[in-house]
Structure 1
Amino acid sequence: MIAKKSPNLTDKASMRLTILRHAPCIPDGRMVGRRDVAADCGDFPALERQRGRIGAPSQVIASPALRCRQTAKALGLSPDRFEPLLWEQDFGRWEDLAPDRLPDLGRLTPAQLARHRPEKGESFDDMAARVIPVLRSLDRDSLLIAHAGTVRAALSMVVGPAALSFAVAPLSLTILSRHDDDWAVEAVNIRGDL
C-alpha cells in the first residue's frame, strides 16, 4: 500500500518565475547598484519582442528603482507591488566607477567573489540573502522586473556562486521553475534584441 502524502503548510505548488532585467541604464557602462538612474526605453522592437514573450503574467512585482518602473511602463505593465528587497546590490565605493577604475581583485573563485564586499557596500551573498526569501515566498507564476543581481541571486538557488558567471543583458529574460522546494533553470539571458 502506498501512503498518500497529506497536504500541509510546507507543500508548494509548481510555479514559473520569469525575471526581466530592466532596460539599459543612463549613463550606461558605469557601476550602477543603488543609484537611482533612469533607463533608456527607446528600443521599441526589443521591448515589443519581450512583451510578446512575457504574455499575460498572473503577477508582476518590480524593484522600486526608477529604471525598473520605467521599464514596466514601457512594456505597458502595472506592477502589483514594488518590492524594496529586490534592489540591485549596493556597490558602495564602486558606485559610478567606469570598469577601468574598478580595483583588481586578483584571481577569486566564484565563492570568494560572492563573499567579497566592496567598501561601504554589500557582497553578492549579502544581496542574495535578502532577495532569495522573496523568491521562495512566491506562490504563483510571477514576472519580476528587476536587476542583473536579482537574476543571479535566483540562479544561485540552483547553481550556487557560479551564478556570478552568467551574462545578464539589459532587457533579457531569465526563467526558472519550482516544484515543491526544487528549482530548475529553464532559460537564461533571452535578449530582446535577438
Structure 2
Amino acid sequence: MVTIAVLRHAPALTGGRLAGRGDVDADCGDAAAFRRMRQQVRQMLGADLRALSSPARRCVQTAGAMGFAPPPTDPGLWEQDYGAWEGLTYEQLPDLGPLPTHQLAAHRPSGGESFDDMAARVQPVLRSVAHDTLIFGHAGTARAALALVVGHRALSFAIAPLSLTVLRRSGMAGAETWAIEAVNLTALP
C-alpha cells in the first residue's frame, strides 16, 4: 500500500489573474497555518515519507515553508496550461455555460491543454510513486489524482490553497486499486 498526498500550494500571488503555467510566488506568511498543516501531514503520513514537487515556484516555496528541503521536481506535475486564458482576470475568462463534466474535461483553451490532457500528464507520475509521498502541487494535480478514482467528476471537488488530498494505492501498475482517504483538508483559518 502506498499513500500519495497532494498538498496544494499556499495562496498564489496572482493579482487576481489566472496563473496555471504562470510562475508566481506563494503567500507563505501564515506560519500558524503551515504549523497546522505539518501536523496534519505527520498524522496522516507519518515521518517516513518522500517529497516531490511541481517545478512551479509557488509549490517549491510552499515546501520550504512546510520545513522541507527543496524537493525533487517533476515537470509532469505542472498545473494545467490555460493557453490564451493565462494572465486573464477571472472576470475576463469566457463563460462556458453549464457543461457536463466529460465535456468540461475535454475543453481545451486556445494554445493550452484540457483537463484530460493535464491528467494524462500527471497520472503517470502518480502511478510511478513507489513510497509514501507528499506531492507539492496544484488544484489540477489533486483533481488529476482524484480522477483516478472518480473520473471526470473530480472536476466537482473544491481544492483550497494549502489543502491536503490523500489517496492510497494498492497493487501494481496496470492492476492498481485507488482509494480516496481525504479531500481538501485545509489548514487555513
TM-score of the aligned structures, taking structure 1 as reference length: 0.90
Q: Which is further off, 19-28 or 150-159? A: 19-28
Residues 57/79 of structure 1: CA separation in 2 closer, same or farther (3 Å cut): farther
Tell me the CA shift for residue 100 of structure 1: 1.4
Q: Do the aligned partners of 2:3 and 2:131 also contact (CA within 8 Å) in 1?
A: yes
1:31 maps to 2:22: no
- The CA distance in 1 between the partners of 2:70 and 2:154, in whole Å, is 26
- Correspondence for 1:105 among 88, 96, 99: 96
- The CA distance in 1 between the partners of 2:170 and 2:188, in whole Å, is 31
Please identify runs of 4+ aligned residues in structure 1 that moved more than 4 A. none
1:157 maps to 2:157: no
CA RMSD of aligned residues (A): 1.1
- The CA distance in 2 between the partners of 1:192 and 1:160, in whole Å, is 27
- The CA distance in 1 between the partners of 2:117 and 2:183, in whole Å, is 22
Q: Which runs of 5+ in 1 are unaligned?
A: 1-13
Percent of aligned positions that are identical:
56
Residues 147/57 of structure 1: CA separation in 2 closer, same or farther (3 Å cut): farther
1:186 maps to 2:184: no
Partner AA of 2:11 in structure 1: P
- The CA distance in 1 between the partners of 2:71 and 2:10, in whole Å, is 19
Residues 84/57 of structure 1: CA separation in 2 closer, same or farther (3 Å cut): farther
Equivalent residue, structure 1, for 2:157: 166
Q: Do the aligned partners of 1:111 and 1:161 also contact (CA within 8 Å) in 2?
A: yes
Tell me the CA shift for residue 79 of structure 1: 4.3
- Correspondence for 1:71 among 62, 69, 86: 62
Q: Secondary structure at the match of 2:182?
A: strand
Aligned residues between the structures = 181
- The CA distance in 2 between the partners of 1:163 and 1:70, in whole Å, is 26
- Correspondence for 2:135 among 136, 140, 144: 144
Looking at CA atoms only, which structure, 1 or 2, has the larger radius of gyration? 1
Equivalent residue, structure 2, for 1:6: none
Tell me the CA shift for residue 28 of structure 1: 4.8
Q: Which runs of 5+ in 2 are unaligned?
A: none
TM-score of the aligned structures, taking structure 2 as reference length: 0.93
- The CA distance in 2 between the partners of 1:17 and 1:105, in whole Å, is 32
- Correspondence for 2:121 among 117, 121, 130: 130
- The CA distance in 2 between the partners of 1:191 and 1:29, in whole Å, is 21
